[in-house]
Amino acid sequence: MKRQKRDKLTRAHAKGYQAGITGRSKEICPFQASDARSEWLGGWREALTDRQLGLNTR
């Protein structure tokens, strides 16, 4: 059975979350397309909120 790829926006959000939870800068966003960039930054902001609440993974 083939594995299906997640859609690009979901993946962008997850990658942004991972960058944010590890403390990386939002300036390293790898996406140029506005919709994917927006999702990445959304994940990054969500991770910052989670870090402030003490949910970091370190």
- Residue 8 structure tokens: 């690009």
**Sequence ranges of the domains in the chain:** 7-22+32-58
Percentage with pLDDT > 70 across the chain:
86
Whether the Cβ atoms of residue 41 and residue 47 lie closer than 8 Å to each other? no
Alpha carbons 42 and 34: distance in angstroms, whole number? 12
pTM of the model: 0.81
Q: In the prediction, which pLDDT does 42 show?
A: 96
- Residue pair 13/43 in contact (Cβ under 8 Å)? The answer is yes
Residue type, position 2, single letter = K
Give the confidence band of 49 by pLDDT, cuts at 50, 70, 90. Answer: very high
CA 2/CA 22 separation, integer angstroms: 32
Give the pLDDT band (50/70/90) at residue 27.
very high
Per-residue pLDDT tens digits for 4-22: 667 899 999 999 999 999 9
